[in-house]
């Protein structure tokens, strides 16, 4: 019988870069002609956002935001190291990396022995920019995969009636997409090393915006109106995916960690706030549901609710919630990392096995 540890973190790109650069997203957003003129003046932002901006354009707040996140991630890494998994299943979104015009599946398991990725070659603005570890732009990370377990998981899902796409290679993006690579980078924030084999499970979390936005906020900076795409998978289906994976891994020979990786509401997806700040109130509600173990509240969300709140990437956490619901595991640690300014609110959570066992 396989033991399972649940973990949730963010893969927010801003934590890669120095504090002074963390608010770059909003600085770019307010140059869009689609943002109302009055919201280009910080004096008209919500009061908490103005306080985060302060007189240094968010630099001091960025340091606090990073500190809270890294503190949580260190706790999650400690739990992971104590658990000593055979593999780590990571749910992450695709932002026009491998899911493009030629094929956009709702989910995809990547079956590879290893992943070679150079995450610093493209900065948030396009060209490479310095990172907080002072590592070279062209540094290549070699992340182990688990081909055998990934094939086992895909096979069992299909046999159990969950039609799961899979891929043996990268389609467009070399190496791991940022949702997965940043997750590994942050779990190894202190650069102690990463040897755990991973199984990336990519999700079309962006749904109606995946081609329209070209992987971010691109549609804010074009003159033509781009059509919406068909929607991504429903929260219910993502929840069911997590349940099925939990059942399979529980009966497998593997000791596994399951990771949901994302921030929650994103400013550049929150049209009702003119794409300037995220839906913090909705994120607070999602956090209360998670912390109390009310996982089915997430299952019962609709796509319209998800998109209205800009919470598309919550679809990366919903399979985690489905798995924890199936296993009856409650969070032992759950921290909400709130921000209006830094594009998104974040969460870090740890869900130990019901009868936690530490591998000797």
Hey, what are 139's tokens? 């540094």
The CATH number linked to 55 is 3.40.830.10
CA dihedral 187, 107, 122, 347 (to 10 degrees): -40
Domain region containing 81: 4-351
- Predicted TM-score (pTM) of this structure: 0.95
Q: Where are the beta strands (DSSP E) in 184-248?
A: 198-203
Residue 131 is predicted with a pLDDT of: 96
Which pLDDT does position 360 carry in this prediction? 36
Residue pLDDT, tens place only, 5-48: 999 999 999 999 999 999 999 999 999 999 999 999 999 999 99
Q: What integer pLDDT is reported at residue 126 of this predicted model?
A: 67
pLDDT of 311: 98
pLDDT tens by residue, the chain, 360 residues? 679 999 999 999 999 999 999 999 999 999 999 999 999 999 999 999 999 999 999 999 999 999 999 999 999 999 999 999 999 999 999 988 888 889 999 999 999 999 999 999 876 656 788 999 999 999 999 999 999 999 999 999 999 999 999 999 988 888 899 999 999 999 999 999 999 999 999 999 999 998 888 867 777 877 777 888 899 999 999 999 999 999 999 999 999 999 999 999 999 999 999 999 999 999 999 999 999 999 999 999 999 999 999 999 999 999 999 999 999 999 999 999 999 999 999 999 999 997 654 433
Output the pLDDT for position 220.
Answer: 82
> What whole-number distance in Å separates Cα of residue 33 and Cα of residue 39?
11
Question: Is 335 domain-assigned?
Answer: yes
Within-domain flag for 359: no
CA distances from 221 to 6, 45, 309, 330 (A): 38, 21, 21, 42
Instruction: Calculate helix-pair angle for 178-187, 59-83, nearest 10 degrees.
Output: 80
Count of structural domains within the chain: 1
357 inside domain: no
Strands 107-110 and 141-144: unpaired
d(Cα 85, Cα 52) in Å, to the nearest integer? 38
Distances (CA, A) of 301 to 112, 134, 236, 275, 290: 33, 41, 8, 22, 13
Rounded-to-integer distance, Cα 277 and Cα 280, Å: 8
**Residue 360 located in a structural domain:** no
Is 356 among the domain residues? no
Q: Among 345, 331, 352, 349, which residue's Cα sits nearest to residue 76?
A: 349
């Amino acid at each position: 019988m396989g033991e399972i540890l649940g973990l949730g973190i963010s893969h927010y790109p801003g934590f890669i870069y120095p504090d002074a650069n963390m608010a770059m997203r909003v600085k770019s957003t307010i140059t869009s002609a689609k943002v109302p003129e009055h919201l280009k003046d910080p004096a008209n932002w919500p009061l908490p956002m103005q306080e985060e901006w302060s007189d240094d354009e968010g630099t001091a707040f960025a340091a606090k935001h990073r500190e809270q996140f890294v503190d949580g991630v260190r706790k999650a890494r400690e739990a992971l190291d104590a658990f000593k998994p055979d593999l780590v299943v990571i749910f992450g979104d695709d932002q026009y990396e491998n899911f493009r015009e030629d094929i956009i599946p709702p989910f995809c398991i990547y079956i590879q022995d290893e992943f070679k990725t150079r995450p610093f070659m493209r900065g948030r603005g396009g060209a490479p920019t310095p990172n907080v570890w002072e590592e070279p732009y062209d540094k290549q990370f070699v992340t182990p995969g688990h081909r055998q377990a990934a094939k086992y998981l895909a096979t069992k899902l299909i046999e159990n009636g969950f039609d799961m796409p899979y891929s043996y290679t990268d389609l467009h993006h070399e190496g791991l997409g940022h949702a997965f690579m940043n997750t590994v980078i942050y779990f190894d924030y202190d650069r102690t090393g990463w040897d755990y084999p991973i199984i990336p499970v990519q999700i079309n979390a962006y749904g109606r915006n995946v081609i329209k936005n070209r992987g971010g906020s691109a549609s804010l900076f074009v003159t033509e109106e781009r059509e919406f795409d068909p929607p991504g998978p429903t929260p219910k289906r993502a929840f069911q995916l997590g349940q099925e994976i939990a059942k399979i891994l529980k009966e497998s020979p593997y000791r596994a960690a399951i990771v949901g990786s994302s921030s929650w509401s994103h400013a550049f997806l929150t049209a009702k706030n003119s794409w300037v700040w995220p839906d913090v109130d909705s994120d607070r509600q999602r956090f209360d549901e998670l912390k109390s173990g009310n996982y089915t509240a997430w299952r019962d969300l609709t796509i319209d609710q998800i998109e209205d709140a800009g919470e598309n990437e919550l679809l990366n956490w919903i399979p985690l919630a489905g798995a924890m619901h199936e296993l009856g595991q409650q969070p032992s640690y759950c921290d909400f990392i709130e921000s209006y300014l830094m594009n998104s609110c974040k969460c870090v959570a740890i869900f130990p096995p019901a009868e936690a066992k530490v591998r000797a």
